[in-house]
Amino acid sequence: MKHALSEASLPHGFRFAATACGLKKTGALDLGLLCSEEPASAAAVFTQNLVVAAPVLISKENLRKSKGRMRGVVLKIDRFGNLITNVTPVDAPAIFAESAKFKITVGTREITDIRKTYAEGAPGEVFGIVGSMGYLEIVANRGAAAQITGAGKGSEVSIFLGEAAAAGKGA
């Protein structure tokens, strides 16, 4: 193994390893494994490439079969107290659609709104935005979402779509 991330850079409860298995001619790292120490009903990170391999297609199908429920994780908290998750619009496009029915639970809060800017939220309101790095961020206008929700690095982010949002927790 050529490289392993430090524990401090990983969300709580996750382990990561990487190695060069020969896919890249340069000998650079080309295989990574991210492991959750807790059972997960669905977990995925998908490539942004236009050409997609069979494992990616199978993983996307497995998420579809999860019936509107998925889990993510808080990767980090920025200096403003925003919760940066590992969820992208590619992972859960339905929550970013106009008039989508969804519920996101993180810490002690349920989020039912995705906004385009911080200013669209009322002072102290907790909502989601797509951050500058392309990830779902749980934020609070004029407040620290981490403090308001009680969530931190490694906290679970549960997403419920459509009927699953109305049914409540249990992903």
Supply the CATH number for residue 137's domain: 2.40.30.90
Band (52; pLDDT cuts 50, 70, 90): confident
Contact 147, 137 (CB under 8 A): no
Range of the domain at 149: 67-167
For a pLDDT cut of 90, what percent of the chain falls above it?
37
Band (111; pLDDT cuts 50, 70, 90): very high
In a domain, 50, yes or no: no
In a domain, 9, yes or no: no
Please give the backbone phi and psi of residue 53, each rounded to the nearest 5 degrees, phi first: -80, 165
Q: Which two tokens stand for residue 151?
A: 């969530």
In a domain, 5, yes or no: no
* Residue ranges of E strands in the chain: 14-19, 31-36, 69-77, 83-85, 102-106, 109-111, 126-130, 136-140, 156-161
In a domain, 36, yes or no: no
* Residue ranges of E strands in 27-87: 31-36, 69-77, 83-85
Give the chain's domain count. 1
Band (2; pLDDT cuts 50, 70, 90): very low
In a domain, 54, yes or no: no
